[in-house]
Structure formats: C-alpha cells, structure tokens
Amino acid sequence: MASTIHFELVTPERLLVSEEVDEVMAPGYLGEFGVLPEHTHYLTILSIGVMSYRVGGETFKIALGGGFAEVTPEKVVIMADVAERAEEIDLERARQAFERAEAAVKELSLDDHTYQKAYAALQRAMVRMAAAD
Amino acid sequence: MANLRAIRKRISSVKSTQQITKAMKMVSAAKLRRSQDAITAARPYARKLREVVQALAGKAGPEAHMLLAVREVKKLALLVVTSDRGLCGGFNSALLRTVQRFLRENSGNYEQVSVFVVGRKGRDFFRRREIAITKEYVNVLGSLSYFNAETMAHDLVDGFKNGAFDEVQIAYNEFRSAIAQTPRFEKLFPISVVEGSGPAEGESDIDYIYEPGRNQILASLLPKYLEMQIFRSLLESVAGEHGARMSAMDSATRNAKEMISSLTLQMNRARQATITKELSEIVSGSESLKG
C-alpha cells in the first residue's frame, strides 16, 4: 500500500499545490471528507470552506471558494474556483471584505438576483478569515 | 532647397515619436511575458476540467443537460474578442474583417445573429457599420480576471436557455507566437461530446462514487467548462494583443530610425548648400569691388 497520495490543487489562474501528501481534508457536498492513500474513486462538488492537507506532522490550510474534487487511489485533484493558502491571506483585508459583503447582504432582499452572489461573497470572506486564523 | 529650420524641427519630432514607440514596445514585451505566464498557469485546470467533463458527458449522453442538447441552429450568437486599445498593427482589423465576411456569407443560413463584443475596438467597428450589438464588454481586458469570463458565460447561457439563440460561437485571435496571431472561430456550446471519450480502456469500467449525483455534478461543471473556454480565449487574445503591439512598435521604431537618418542627410545637404551660397556671394561681392 502506498503510504502517500499525490495531491494537486488547481485554479483557473494557477497551480497552487502539487505534492505527495499523507492526508487531505476538504468540504464536500455532503459535508467534510478525508482522503487517505488508496481511497476509492470519488467525484464530488466542493462547497465554500477551509480545506487542509497533511505532510508528515505538518498541516497546511487553504481557503476554498467552491469547486470540485476527483479522487482516485493514487491521486487527489481539487479544482477550485478560487483558492488561497492561509499564509497568503491578509487578515485585515479579509475582514474588510467581510464587512463589505455583510453590508451588501443585509441591504439586498432575498429574491434579488444578486443576493446569491453577495451571499457567496460573504461566505468566501468568512472562510478566508477562518483559514487565516 | 528645403528650409533648414523646418528639417531640424521634423527631426526632433520624429525623434520623440521614436522614443515613445520604443517605450511602448518595451512595455508590451513585459506585458506579453506576463500574459503568456497566465496562459500557462490556466492550462492544468483547463486540461483537467476537459477530461472530467468529457468523461462525465460521455457517460451521461446529450439528454443529460441543456448545454449538451444540440438543436437546429436558426439563431446564432457570436462573441467577438477584440482589444480595448489600438496601435497594435492588424490585430483587430484582421479579426473584424474575418467576422464581417462570416456575417455576410452566412446571413442566409441563420435567421438572426446576435453579436456580443469584447473590447472597445470591436464595439466601435460594429457601431460605425450600424450592426446591432447585443451586449458589449468594454475595458475589462486591462485587468482580466476569471470573473469577467464568468459574467460573459452567464449572459450567453441565459440567452441560450430562453431560446434567444441555438448555438454560440466565439471569434478571437489565437495566440500562435509573439509575432503570429490568427483569427479563429470556435463553437462554445452546445458542447459536443466525443462518444466514448474519457478514461482509457479498462479504466472506464470503474464507476466513481458521485456526490451528489452524476448529472448534478455535470450540471455544475458544464458552466465552469464554458467559463474556462471563454477565459482561455480571452487570455490568448490579450497575449496576442501585446505580441501584435510589440511587433508593430518595433517596426515603428525602425521606421523612425530610417526617417531620422534620411532627414539628417537632407539637413546636412541643405546646410552645405547655404554655406556654399554664402561663400560665393562674398567672393563675387569682393570681386566686383576690386573691379
């Protein structure tokens, strides 16, 4: 049994991670899931949330803005709409974005067509703050 | 004989033009490199997405999703990608000429062609020719992000959904190399699926666990696939624009250099002529005094 699994994280704008890891955790459609080497074939939509992966004893956190994941026994590929490593996130800016998004959501009514968008922006801002912490 | 002062003025004006074109060339070269990097960076995502979408759609068949359903094409939408800024040689005119020819040749085949246009140059072109523009995206190319492609895909899918058109094509400048761009038409959707494409033999038997269902995943991936197609075309067009501007500015700089040297020659001749004339006047003046 392979002891590590290859993990790749790509976004439309860049290839963020490509390395051998021990474990990957990500927010799936039906809740958080973990992937260890030799995982069965699995394809899921990802929700907005914080994902992490572990190499040895070290865990790295990444803020995900939705996407999907394909898992095979040897490989995990996450295709995110947007993704940022926790270290890259500027907490101050994330907080400002959060406040802006919150204000926007409060102003819009539920059936406004931009509501979904504003709400997603709010969620992303929350996730970025959570990842940076 | 041309006026000496006028020639001097000409030279200094050509010189400052040359400085500008040289600077623009350098700026374009730097931007070209950056946009090439962006294309390279987008590639892994695009490749993977195509793989998964083709595999899923191949299994699900064309009935599974609206974006896969081919219907009789009566009305066409055309997304034309041009640049916002000029001074890039034949970059825009080559594409727009092709588009215009396409519109003329196919006017009989379609009931209606809706034009969506990216870039100020394209917009102005259609406006001047009084061709109706359904929607324009102007001033987005300078700081292009995935979000722009998302907006465009959204508008196009909306029109497709409510039957405003049956097929969507994109016309853009394909980035071949820093000095070569070719106008290109591509069908965006309905997305054609290659039957039996996807994973290789033997592998295709493995069924994935899908979360939620396969068709739901497909439904959320197809718009992304589309966005990515548009995003890639936009990136290529931007890179092509910088490439075209770079070579246009390069030849402009060279032309300026040639012009300066021929003007300098003219100036020296004119100066020499004046000196000769003055000398002969002095000489003939003193000769006549002696007389």
* pLDDT at B202 (0 to 100): 44
**Which residue type does A70 have?**
E
pLDDT (tens digit per residue) in B209-245:
887 888 888 888 888 899 999 999 999 999 999 999 9
Q: Using an 8 Å Cβ cutoff, are B116 and B80 in contact?
A: yes
Whether the complex's predicted ipTM is more than 0.90 is answered with no
**Which residue type does B1 have?**
M
* pLDDT at B111 (0 to 100): 86
Q: Give me the mean pLDDT over the A63-79 stretch.
A: 90
CA neighbor of A118 nearest in space, from A104, A97, A130: A104
How far apart are alpha carbons B85 and B70 in whole angstroms? 37
Q: Using an 8 Å Cβ cutoff, are B14 and B256 in contact?
A: yes
Question: Which residues on chain A are in Cβ contact (under 8 Å) with B149?
Answer: 12
More confident site: A100 or B61: A100
CA neighbor of A3 nearest in space, from A26, A25, A23: A23
How far apart are alpha carbons A75 and B91 in whole angstroms? 42
How far apart are alpha carbons B94 and B182 in whole angstroms? 8
Q: Give me the mean pLDDT over the B196-201 stretch.
A: 47
Question: Which residues on chain A are in Cβ contact (under 8 Å) with B38?
Answer: 13
Q: Give me the mean pLDDT over the A106-126 stretch.
A: 77
Measure CB to CB from residue A28 to each of B208, B211, B220 and give the nearest one.
B211
* Gap from A78 CA to chain B (nearest CA, Å): 9
Report yes or no: A116 at the B interface, CB cutoff 8 Å: no
* Gap from B212 CA to chain A (nearest CA, Å): 7
- Global pTM reads 0.83
Does pLDDT of B201 surpass 70?
no
Q: Using an 8 Å Cβ cutoff, are B270 and B4 in contact?
A: yes
pLDDT (tens digit per residue) in B125-136:
999 998 889 999
Q: Are strands A31-35 and A42-55 parallel, antiparallel or unpaired?
A: unpaired
Q: What is the DSSP letter of A14?
A: -
Which of B76, B88, B178, B234 is catalytic? The answer is B88
More confident site: A3 or B122: B122
pLDDT (tens digit per residue) in B254-264:
999 999 999 99
Question: Which residues on chain A are in Cβ contact (under 8 Å) with B49?
Answer: 79
CB contact under 8 A, A8 and B44: yes
* pLDDT at B198 (0 to 100): 47
Mark B212-245 as b/e (b = at least 16 C-beta within 10 Å). eebeebbbebbbbbbbbbbbbbbbbbbbbbbbbb
* Gap from A14 CA to chain B (nearest CA, Å): 5
Measure CB to CB from residue B210 to each of A12, A43, A79 and give the nearest one.
A43
Residues in chain A: 133
Q: Using an 8 Å Cβ cutoff, are A47 and A30 in contact?
A: no
Helices then strands, each counted (H, E), chain A: 2, 8
- At B204, the pLDDT band (50, 70, 90 cuts) reads low
Does pLDDT of B197 surpass 70?
no
The CA-based dihedral angle spanning residues B18, B24, B30, B35, taken in that order and rounded to the nearest 10 degrees:
-140
Instruction: Judge whether B88 counts as a catalytic residue.
Output: yes
Q: Give me the mean pLDDT over the B107-115 stretch.
A: 87
- Which spans in chain B are helix H? 4-60, 91-106, 120-128, 146-161, 214-290
Report yes or no: A12 at the B interface, CB cutoff 8 Å: yes
Does pLDDT of B200 surpass 60?
no
Report yes or no: A10 at the B interface, CB cutoff 8 Å: yes
How far apart are alpha carbons B272 and B158 in whole angstroms? 73
Report yes or no: B45 at the A interface, CB cutoff 8 Å: yes
Mutation target for B interface from A11, A39, A45: give the one with most B CBs within 10 A: A45
pLDDT (tens digit per residue) in B46-74:
888 888 888 888 787 777 788 887 788 88
How far apart are alpha carbons B79 and B122 in whole angstroms? 11
Question: Which residues on chain A are in Cβ contact (under 8 Å) with B238?
Answer: none
Mean pLDDT of chain B: 88
Q: Using an 8 Å Cβ cutoff, are B265 and B40 in contact?
A: no
pLDDT (tens digit per residue) in B236-246:
999 999 999 99
How far apart are alpha carbons B232 and B234 in whole angstroms? 5
Question: Which residues on chain B are in Cβ contact (under 8 Å) with A78?
Answer: none
Q: Give me the mean pLDDT over the A15-41 stretch.
A: 91
* pLDDT at B291 (0 to 100): 66
- At A2, the pLDDT band (50, 70, 90 cuts) reads low
Measure CB to CB from residue A29 to each of B42, B44, B212 and give the nearest one.
B212
Does pLDDT of A116 surpass 80?
no
Cis peptide before B190 (omega within 30 of 0): yes
Beta strands in A2-41 (DSSP E): 5-10, 15-21, 23-28, 31-35
CB contact under 8 A, B212 and A30: yes
Q: Is B210 strand, coil or helix?
A: strand
Q: Using an 8 Å Cβ cutoff, are A35 and B70 in contact?
A: no
